[in-house]
Amino acid sequence: MVDAVLLSACRTAIGTARRGSLRDTDAFELAALVVREAALRGGLPPEAIDDVVLGESLAGGGDIARHAALRAGLPHVPGLAHNRHCASGLASVATAAAGVRAGMDRAVIAGGTHSSSTAPLARRRIPGTDDWQDPWMAPTHVPTPEAPNDDMGVLVGWNTARLAGLTREEMDAWALRSHARAVRAIDEGRFTDEIVPVPVTGRDGTASVFDTDEHPRRDTSAEKLAALKVLHPEIEGFSITAGNSSGVNDGAAAVLVAGSDLAAAHGLTPIATVRSWASVGVDPVETGLAPVAAIRKALDRAGLGIGDVDLFEVNEAFAAVAVATTRELGLDPERVNPFGSGCSLGHPIATTGTRMVVTLAHELRRRGGGTAVAAMCAGGGMGAALVLTV
């Protein structure tokens, strides 16, 4: 069996939704940009690329991957839109790697794209009536008071904090660290090689280039985080705030996944190898704890243990998720989210999984090699993890 290797890995900088630099750049344009760049950086002839798989969530349906392939100048390449909610971008990389390792595909561009700023709103007629539910969001599970479909602050944030016994102080401290680490990474140029500049035209006609993550807050502090109101003051003990939650964001990311034999035939040096991956389902109430099971499963499939991993990124959909996962698995906090995550960099939903893969692959190369795990929870009681080696 050939290895599934990454020949390129890129992303846009992450914008703050509705008031940030990408507020007028939709998911389709962002997708085309990173798909084109992943193909160019990868060094393969276009005819060697067999598919484009893109994570999408709340983009309105349709096949955004085929749209991106056409706009990227790959008319012979089909497309698959992948939706595993927050884990869509991670699932797209796993799906691409599976096709390559099975020998069914030679090379696949995988990624995710998300624009919270321009995401469409849906409505539907309520069955048995002539009334309309507006707005409407497709449910992932049958909702209960403890596991609503439309309130991630309760479904993920609060349930995780409650089940893991986390205090607000612990979550705020993690969020503060996340911002500090993201700002330091930006200042040190850690993301420069992975970011694809996005040409932006302002509403006043001014042209500019967006190439720096804008969500991390340089001016945040423990005092400012502690002063924020909780999202549900009516729930006794509720501890989730905007400060210890992920951002609402825009961005896209893509990687070129190819067989190790194809890379060798073209004289190309892989930047990383996709070692293993796993997705899991849990009770929706336990959504924020799902990365624990996913990490264990992915590492077991790779024949590795926690001690074999140099870097983890556990997406901070809420700080509670990263804190609980770190504690439950006994991870060294210094190896978890070294450059921030959802609370600071932001969480463009369908993009984040691929963005984590991009960042971890570049960092492992900078360190001269190693093993990394990207993991996250996903709405409806799901979790996913992927193991990379360099």
Q: Which of 67, 114, 179, 347 is catalytic?
A: 347
The three-point CA angle 354-317-19 to 5° equals 85
Q: Name the strand (E) or helix (H) holding 180.
A: helix 168-187
Positive or negative, the CA dihedral 96, 101, 104, 109 is positive
The residue among 219, 213, 210 whose CA lies nearest residue 187 is 213
Active site residue 10: no
Q: Which of 86, 114, 141, 215 is catalytic?
A: 86
Active site residue 377: yes
Active site residue 347: yes
Identify the DSSP state of 268. P
The three-point CA angle 298-299-302 to 5° equals 90
Q: Which of 67, 82, 141, 377 is catalytic?
A: 377
CB contact set of 337 (below 8 Å; sequence gap of 6+): 178, 181, 312, 313, 314, 316, 322
Contact 55, 353 (CB under 8 A): yes
DSSP string, 192-216: TTTBPPEEEE-TTS-EEEE-S---S
Give catalytic residues, as residue numbers: 86, 347, 377
